[in-house]
């Protein structure tokens, strides 16, 4: 159960991501649940940091967002190898990397909705 504005906001981001990203993710089951087994989706594992990074940038270039995510999220991810490589990203198995444009859309959706209700 979530209480308080911060948790409610995180739930809004999570729901927007589920609608925009999880609905098209290759790891999604037919019933819409996550089909990953043995690991947590990178979007779920890093949601607070991810949202903070994406919300703090304003750039027309996706590369700027990708660079920030790799520097501030991927650098702390448990899937990252000691030398810095990421087998999940290289195998296109990291939802954070594969679906970053859709995640950006989801974050902007929440921001737009909140601005229109302010």
Query: pLDDT tens-digit profile of 17-41?
Result: 999 999 999 999 888 888 988 888 9
pTM here is 0.84
- State the CB neighbour count (10 A cutoff) for residue 105: 15
CB 2, CB 80: distance < 8 Å? no
% of the chain residues with pLDDT over 90: 50
On the question of pLDDT at 5 being above 90, the answer is no
Please give the pLDDT value at position 117: 82
On the question of pLDDT at 4 being above 60, the answer is no
Separation between Cα atoms, residue 58 and residue 113, nearest integer Å: 18
Question: What SS3 state is found at 57?
Answer: coil
- Quick one: which of 14, 11, 17, 7 has its CA closest to 98? 17
């Amino acid at each position: 159960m979530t209480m308080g504005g911060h948790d409610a906001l995180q739930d809004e981001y999570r729901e927007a991501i589920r609608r925009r990203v999880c609905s098209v993710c290759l790891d999604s089951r037919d019933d819409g649940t996550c089909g990953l087994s043995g690991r947590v989706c990178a979007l779920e594992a890093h949601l607070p940091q991810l949202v903070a990074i994406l919300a703090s940038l304003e750039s027309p270039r996706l590369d700027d967002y990708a660079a920030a995510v790799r520097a501030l999220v991927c650098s702390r991810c448990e899937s990252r190898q000691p030398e810095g490589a990421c087998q999940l990203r290289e195998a296109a198995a990291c939802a954070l990397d594969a679906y970053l444009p859709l995640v950006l859309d989801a974050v902007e959706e929440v921001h737009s909705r909140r601005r229109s209700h302010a």
